[in-house]
Chain A
């Protein structure tokens, strides 16, 4: 046994080493071999040249936030709408299909989780998004209830905002402000009867919060996080950002090695 473990460990280490070398090899291939991004870009969207933003404290805003706010010509990892919801397992079935044995319900739910996300993007497309795609949909581990025939699912969507009439101001002369709005919905409350309604409530809350910020320029919804329960209760948390003039005495300087703006 020990010998097998040692050989296995050695082989795994070799695989790791050569695997890393292999990855490096593929990464170092000429650029023309690289796969071009083929995501949606159906509408003309303003693409700022500047790739950095200043925080109100004068520091650089983390790149994840910069992209979530600025980069609207494509999907970015930081701009997500997350929805955790309960759904009936029967919703995962095709017409005429039956649920399998209880042992398979968890893996069935995991494989077919994207089906519960089918309608969710519509909510965003009807409100703030120009494009929306399901990035990840999974069943929550151990959440399958074979008796009730339901499970909890986690759905993560990415989106890009509709082009705004409001042009971005000089980014170098502004700071990125962010804030979060949170709402809780009691059981049966208006705005949380179904998951899609709760997500719509989150969008409305974010847009309303944006409108309420005095002097905000180019306020944008940066992320949405909603949790819905099958009793009609839920919670939403929306993060939004906007540009504000540089505070007096603060001078914006681009980070070393970066240009533009």
Chain B
């Protein structure tokens, strides 16, 4: 009689540990596990650097670039460089790490998106550095969210309570900012950076090589966007995702060769007519975006893009030779950040008790339930 419940409790503890590892990462066990085990966990679970084995010997950076239904994805220590070609990270930047989820910046300045759709054009002679990337999976210790995010989480909380009769222990922390690194090795001319987020909240962390200068930074897309480690005198202009939509601008790029679309064409899941029609629509969107981009910045979006659909770092400028200086990693700890924010903004560890995302969710649910979550329970016992 006793063995059954005990083994279930043991299984539950193991399951919780595994889920904790997956959801919170190895840092969750800091101080619990010995340093050797922490180091081993860190090695296999470095954010944004996780992937299967290289496609080749691993000698070339291209061996770590996957071209599949997820798009072009960095599956190892590679960055995107000019021509959207892969390069090993340690060839372009020194001191690089993605273990920054606990790093706390020193200064946060709120910026606002521009009014309208007209961006300041680059000066003559500037180099355009255009980074467009998908997810980096490198969360920061900063979150920003709106009433809509809270309401959606309250609904999830209520649904779980109705199903289980207990409060969900898995209320999220709210939408975190994700970091993406930009190493600037271009030193011949000032660089006009156009940094394009596909979705979510994004902080672009700028790492300069000695002698590199930034003329202006334009942040396009995403829910909220900001920039870290940028000289405070450099102007930043922002059009977020909803702003782009309001301006009739739809960022679009050609599909990669391994995209699901082409797989569906090859295996007959999609008829040729249907495929041609969809492809024509995609191409029209790509052309339209290219035109807008050229009008704004003097270069085409597709040609100038540096950044994969999954990855953590893009390099603007040449790959430094053996004697040339690399970009220097600028840590997020103590960084100055300029960013747009949603209604609520949090930095981990600096939130007053009861005002964090999870507490707000629970408070709202309880208030709506007349102060008693038990009233959420419905259903007659048959």
Contact = CB atoms under 8 A, between A and B. Distances in A.
Interface in A1-36: 1-4, 7-8, 10-11, 14-15, 18, 22, 25, 35
A3 B4 contact: no
B18 A11 contact: yes
Interface in A117-138: 133-137
A75 B382 contact: yes
Interface string B132-175: 00010100000000111011001100100000000000000000
Contacts of A135: 378-380
Contacts of B11: 14, 18
A69 B135 CA distance: 57
A103 B365 CA distance: 14
Contacts of B369: 111
A249 interface: no
The B interface, classified by DSSP as helix, strand, loop or mixed, is helix
B376 interface: yes
Nearest to B44: A3
Interface stretch (B45-53, B211-219, B292-300): B45-53
Given A103-B148, A104-B147, A136 B15 contact: no
Nearest to B156: A107
Given A4-B22, A110-B155, A136 B378 contact: yes
A9 B368 CA distance: 35
A74 B381 CA distance: 10
A147 interface: no
A39 B155 contact: no
Interface in B108-151: 135, 137, 146-148, 150-151
Given A1-B137, A101-B147, A111-B158, A7 B378 contact: no
A76 B380 CA distance: 9
A205 to B, nearest CB: 25
A: contact size bracket: 35 or more
B: contact size bracket: 35 or more
Interface string B5-30: 00010010001001101100000000
Residue from A4, A14, A133, A135 whose CB has the most chain B CB atoms within 10 Å: A4
A112 interface: yes
Contacts of A103: 146-148, 150-151
Nearest to B379: A135
A106 B22 contact: no
Nearest to A36: B381
B158 A110 contact: yes
Contacts of B370: 94
Interface in A87-114: 94, 101, 103-104, 106-108, 110-112, 114
A111 B365 contact: yes
B45 A11 contact: no
A38 B381 contact: yes
B364 interface: yes
A158 interface: yes
Nearest to A10: B18
Interface in A39-82: 39, 74-77
A137 B378 CA distance: 8
Contacts of A35: 381
B310 interface: yes
B15 A11 contact: yes
Nearest to A133: B380
A142 to B, nearest CB: 12
A132 B97 CA distance: 63
Contacts of B147: 101, 103-104
B382 A77 contact: yes
B382 A76 contact: yes
A101 B148 CA distance: 9
B15 A107 contact: no
Contacts of A37: 381-382
Given A4-B45, A11-B19, A107 B382 contact: no
B50 A4 contact: yes
Contact of A107 (B8, B18, B368): B368
A114 B380 CA distance: 13
Contact of A108 (B22, B45, B368, B376): B368
A115 B18 CA distance: 41
Given A11-B18, A14-B15, A110-B155, A3 B45 contact: yes
A185 B308 CA distance: 59
Contacts of A76: 382
The 9 closest A-B pairs by CB, nearest first: A103-B147, A11-B18, A111-B368, A103-B148, A3-B50, A8-B22, A103-B151, A107-B155, A18-B11
Interface of B: 4, 8, 11, 15, 18-19, 21-22, 44-45, 48, 50-52, 75, 135, 137, 146-148, 150-151, 154-155, 158, 310, 364-365, 368-370, 375-376, 378-382
6 contacts: A3-B45, A35-B381, A101-B147, A103-B151, A104-B150, A104-B364
Interface of A: 1-4, 7-8, 10-11, 14-15, 18, 22, 25, 35, 37-39, 74-77, 94, 101, 103-104, 106-108, 110-112, 114, 133-137, 158
Given A7-B22, A103-B146, A106-B155, 16 more contacts: A1-B48, A3-B44, A7-B21, A11-B15, A18-B11, A38-B381, A103-B151, A106-B151, A107-B151, A110-B155, A111-B369, A114-B375, A114-B378, A135-B380, A136-B378, A136-B379
